[in-house]
Structure 1
Amino acid sequence: MTGGRIVVGVDGSAPSLKALKWAAGQAALTGDSLHAVIGWEFPASWATLMPGVPPEFDPERLAKQILDESLAKALPPETVATVTRTIVGGNAAQALIDQAEGASLLVVGARGYSGFKAAALGSVSSNVTQHAPCPVVVVRGEVPGVGDAD
């Protein structure tokens, strides 16, 4: 079966770069298209946590930059050119669950950028494994060529 869609969560962290590389390899094997997704949201106490943030600050533009840089870092240019990119304002786990509707596979790293670095499984990966509408792969450990210096 070819022509499916693999959704991969990206947040710029080493685990998400490993997940991205793994997902690209899987897409090459299966003939599925690769869709990279990044979610962003303002913290509940945005004004008090980040005083002095300039009014021109654009978190969506920052998310796009992180996504573009992650793709360029993890994948060869010919692969990057074929990746569909989606930037979602909202909770990252819910964004991935929503984007995975109808997908053949959802891929995430074991941990990303969160306050719980010591957790064996991050909150996003834990949430999507419980609620995704398709099979989920949580990439753990080392993927050659990504995050080796991290």
Structure 2
Amino acid sequence: MTQYTDSKPLPIVVGVDGSACSQEVLRWAMVQAQVTGSAIEAVAAWMYPQVYGYSYGWVPSMPEGGEFAKTAEQTLQETVATVREQLDHPPEVTIRVAEGHAVEVLMDAARNAQLLVLGSRGHGTFAGILLGSVSQHCVQHAPCPVVIIPQP
């Protein structure tokens, strides 16, 4: 059931991390948005890594210049552009990049959403049927319906 505010449907919120799975998630959400006439809000979260014992020079896994927000935004924009190119009439997409744990950022975005769409993060045979910790938390606590798209 699509919820409306001021004759406009509430957005579909999509968690995007730049992975191949998140491209599939965004594609599914865009098709759903075409059907319902909804807009998409693509959301990416970033956090400063916890680093121990690196009081000198190089720190592993740091984006160039340590600009986490900029890197997250660039990844999100690239993912949205890639998926939009694959659809004939893509819906309106806004992006949100926020500092914080993915669960907190997604729960905040889902407060004003008709649907939260996420990918699963299973790893192989038996583990492949399991949800990742972010997806699991969102399924249990989201303020709106949640759709989990399995990895391709």
Shorter-normalised TM-score: what interval?
Answer: 0.7 to 0.9
Which of 129, 132, 135 is the equivalent residue of 2:142? 132
Q: Answer with 102-111 or 40-49: which moved more.
A: 40-49
2:110 matches 1:100: yes
**1:147 paired residue number:** none
Cα distance in 2 for residues equivalent to 1:8 and 1:103: 10
C-alpha spacing 1:38/1:49, structure 2 compared with 1 (3 Å): farther
Q: Specify the alignment match of 1:63 in structure 2.
A: 72
- For residue 79 of structure 1, the aligned residue among 79, 90, 101 is 90
**Structure 2 equivalent of residue 27 of structure 1:** 33
Which runs of 5 or more residues in structure 1 are unaligned?
143-150
Change (3 A) 1:37 1:50: farther
Q: Deviations over 1:73-97 (max 9, x none)?
A: 22228637x2110001000111011
2:146, 2:56 → 1: CA distance?
34
Aligned to 1:88: 98
Give the match for residue 24 of structure 2. 18
Closer, same or farther: CA 104–121 of 1 in aligned 2, 3 Å: same
Could you tell me how far 1:102 is from its partner in structure 2?
Answer: 2.0
- Secondary structure of 1:75's counterpart equals helix
**CA deviations over 1:13-35 (Å, ceiling 9, x no partner):** 11111110000000110111100
Rate the CA distance shift 1:132–1:48 in 2: closer, same or farther, 3 A.
farther
Structure-2-length-normalised TM-score: 0.79
Are 1:109 and 2:119 an aligned pair? yes
- Could you say if the C-alpha distance between residues 121 and 57 of structure 1 is closer, same or farther in structure 2, counting changes exceeding 3 Å? same
TM-score by length of 1: 0.80
- Separation in 2, partners of 1:110, 1:125: 6
Bigger RCO (CA 8 Å, 6+ sep): 1
Query: Shift of residue 46 of structure 1?
Result: 6.5
Distance 2:138 2:56 in 1: 29
Alpha-carbon distance in structure 1 between the residues aligned to 2:55 and 2:72: 19
Rounded to whole Å, the distance in 1 between the matches of 2:48 and 2:12 is 27
1:43 aligns with 2:53: no
Percent identity over paired residues: 39
8 Å Cα contact 2:110/2:116 also seen in 1: yes
